[in-house]
């Protein structure tokens, strides 16, 4: 599985995240088709960019900003791999972390068809999580 249409991508997201989605979750899928990125490509990007080493500042450079920066780096990575003609199935997700506070991280569907979360504020070797490993719940927005 190398690519998915937006309808099938939304279906994959809803099926794999069904226990984490808030009622009325907003899914914004901007394109018609998506590239399912191999996990090792994302890990390579995390190691290269080291977004986790950027300074955290409340309200100014916080979780939503880190998620936006990583999302932008994935979009820019198409310039490195010009053979890939589709956008990554990679974006941002907002929900509740640990049921206590709002939080934004990244989300992707990999070439193996699995949904994974990426916490851009963690070191690369700790940042990628499966759906079961991620404590994000009551997801109210996904933007890919």
Q: What is the pLDDT of residues 53-68, one digit of tens each?
A: 666 556 555 688 889 8
Stated pTM of the model: 0.88
Q: Sketch the domain layout of the chain as residue ranges.
A: 3-143
Strands (E) across 1-144 are located at 3-5, 21-28, 33-35, 90-97, 101-109, 115-118, 128-130, 136-143
| DSSP annotation of 135 | -
Per-residue pLDDT tens over the stretch 93-126: 999 998 788 999 999 999 999 999 999 876 667 7
- Domain 3-143 in this protein, CATH class: alpha beta
| Cα 141 from Cα 144, distance rounded (Å) | 10
| DSSP annotation of 57 | B
């Amino acid at each position: 599985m190398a690519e998915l249409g937006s309808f099938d991508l939304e279906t994959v997201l809803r099926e794999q995240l069904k226990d984490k989605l808030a009622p009325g979750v907003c899914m914004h899928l901007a394109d018609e088709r998506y590239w399912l990125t191999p996990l090792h490509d994302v890990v390579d990007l995390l190691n290269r960019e080291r977004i986790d080493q950027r300074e955290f500042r409340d309200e100014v450079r916080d979780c939503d900003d880190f998620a936006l920066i990583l999302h932008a780096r994935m979009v820019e990575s198409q310039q490195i791999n010009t053979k890939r003609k589709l956008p990554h199935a990679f974006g941002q997700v907002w929900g509740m972390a640990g049921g206590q506070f709002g939080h934004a991280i990244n989300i992707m569907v990999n070439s193996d068809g699995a949904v994974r979360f990426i916490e851009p504020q963690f070191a690369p070797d700790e940042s990628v999580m499966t759906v079961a490993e991620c404590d994000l719940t009551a997801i109210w927005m996904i933007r890919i």
